[in-house]
Amino acid sequence: MDDPVDNKPPTLWQMLHSVIAAAFGVQSGKNRARDFTHGKPSHFVILGIVFTAVFALSLFGIVKLVLLLAGV
């Protein structure tokens, strides 16, 4: 299923998993090999930007919520 020998491009979920794993520095060699051989760089760049924006907005929202609950 996740074999890097397959000649098909990675699915959206596989690319999203790769972007999240790479963001936290835990990408496996097998997935990295699949991404570099069959993935399109533009897809990973777009997903990386979207992931970063969602992550930053989530942190911002959590901080705002904690400050609101703390009465600041």
pLDDT digits (tens, 9 = 90+) for 3-42: 555 678 899 999 999 999 999 999 888 989 999 999 899 9
Q: pTM of the entire structure?
A: 0.77
State residue 2's pLDDT score.
Answer: 54
Confidence of residue 66 (pLDDT cuts 50, 70, 90): very high
State residue 6's pLDDT score.
Answer: 65
State residue 60's pLDDT score.
Answer: 98
Nearest 5°: phi and psi at 40?
-95, 130
What span, in angstroms and rounded, lies between the C-alpha atoms of 50 and 72?
30
Nearest 5°: phi and psi at 23?
-65, -35
State residue 5's pLDDT score.
Answer: 55
